[in-house]
């Protein structure tokens, strides 16, 4: 499970603080230094750690004026609250249009991040909420992407619109939209092509789809295991294509967790969902406060 090592380290810091009873300023300083090291080792981006420590320190210095909590508890409370702030103090929702209006969601991301799997997971989630989603297979480059989407769509009981791999993705997206309109689907999710690395062709293709179709939500899928790379990818997609939110996959693995803590602060875009396994039911809404509690253990 992600964060294990970070959780262990933070718990250790806090255990030592609690043991001390009365704390000197030096004790708090030393503890905060250890918190900083733990975050850096968890692959949280340096810029984010610096800002985070500044906020915590500012609050911790004046903390002894507050009654009811001992200094150790106070530091823990502040770290907890600042972790929540870092990930976005409110739970972000995928914005859907009301009623029969079609919401177009474009899924983007690098190959292997989990985009196709997440697309099917998301369709299942929306279906269970009473929506009528249609999936469109716009990844015409990766061998087997279309079949994978069809197989997963079938498992979810969700229709998949495909035109094979000989058409260009813009035409597929447009035709899928017409199909959705005719058959009264109210969500269209486009599974677009990823690449191994960010390249101009991919960015242009995504921009072309956005030009041809009114995309309501662009959702970036990134792999938590790739740590700071995931954050860099999110930053670049944000700049070049524009994104509305992020799905962080493979948080069930042994990712150090830094991406979860950095993405919001670096890109300004919220994490919407987290992938917690390979099964199609393993997609969870992202709650910053629950994640902070989990990190603190």
Least separation in angstroms between CB 275 and ligand GDP: 2
Three-class SS state of 154: helix
Residue with tokens 């480059």: 141
Instruction: Return the number of other C-beta atoms located less than 10 Å from residue 171's C-beta.
Output: 12
Helical packing angle, 258-267 and 228-240, nearest 10° = 30
Residues that bind ligand GDP (CB under 6 A): 109, 111-117, 194, 249-250, 252-253, 275-278, 282
Nearer Cβ to ligand GDP, position 148 or 267?
148
Q: Which of 64, 61, 81, 102 is nearest to 214 (CA)?
A: 102
Q: How far is the CB of 55 from ligand GDP (least distance, A)?
A: 30
Q: Binding site for GTP, residues?
A: 109-116, 191-195, 249-252
Show the tokens assigned to 47: 């810029």
Tokens of 223: 């792999």
Sheet holding 160-161, edge to edge: 160-161, 133-137, 187-191, 103-108, 217-223, 245-249, 271-275, 283-285
Picking from 66, 53, 61, the residue whose alpha carbon sits closest to that of residue 24 is 61
**Dihedral pair phi/psi, residue 291, rounded to 5°:** -65, -40
Cα separation, 104 vs 200, in Å, equals 23
Q: Given the complex with ligand GDP, which of 194 and 227 has the nearer CB atom?
A: 194
């Amino acid at each position: 499970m992600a964060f294990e090592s970070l959780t262990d380290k933070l718990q250790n810091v806090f255990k030592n603080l609690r043991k001390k009873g009365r704390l000197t300023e030096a004790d708090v300083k030393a503890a905060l230094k250890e918190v900083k090291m733990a975050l850096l080792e968890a692959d949280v981006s340096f810029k984010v750690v610096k800002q985070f420590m500044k906020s915590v320190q500012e609050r911790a210095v004046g903390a002894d004026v507050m009654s009811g909590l001992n200094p150790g508890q106070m530091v823990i409370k502040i770290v907890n609250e600042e972790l929540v702030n870092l990930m976005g103090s409110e739970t972000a929702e995928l914005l859907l249009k009301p009623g029969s209006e079609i919401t177009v969601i474009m899924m983007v991301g690098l190959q292997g991040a989990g985009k196709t799997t997440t697309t099917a997971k998301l369709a299942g989630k929306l279906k269970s909420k009473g929506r009528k989603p249609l999936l469109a297979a716009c990844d015409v480059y990766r061998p087997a992407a279309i079949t994978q989407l069809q197989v997963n769509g079938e498992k979810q009981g969700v229709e998949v619109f495909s035109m094979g791999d000989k058409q260009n993705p813009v035409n597929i997206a447009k035709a899928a939209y017409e199909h959705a309109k005719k058959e009264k689907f109210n969500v269209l999710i486009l599974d677009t092509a990823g690449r191994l690395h960010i390249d101009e062709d991919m960015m242009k293709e995504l921009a072309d789809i956005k030009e041809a179709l009114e995309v309501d939500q662009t959702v970036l899928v990134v792999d938590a295991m790739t740590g700071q790379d995931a954050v860099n990818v999110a930053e670049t997609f944000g700049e070049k294509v524009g994104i509305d939110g992020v799905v962080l996959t493979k948080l069930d693995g042994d990712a150090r967790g830094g991406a979860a803590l950095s993405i919001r602060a670096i890109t300004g875009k919220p994490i919407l969902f987290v992938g917690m396994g390979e099964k199609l039911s393993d997609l969870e809404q992202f709650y910053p406060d629950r994640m902070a509690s989990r990190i603190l253990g």
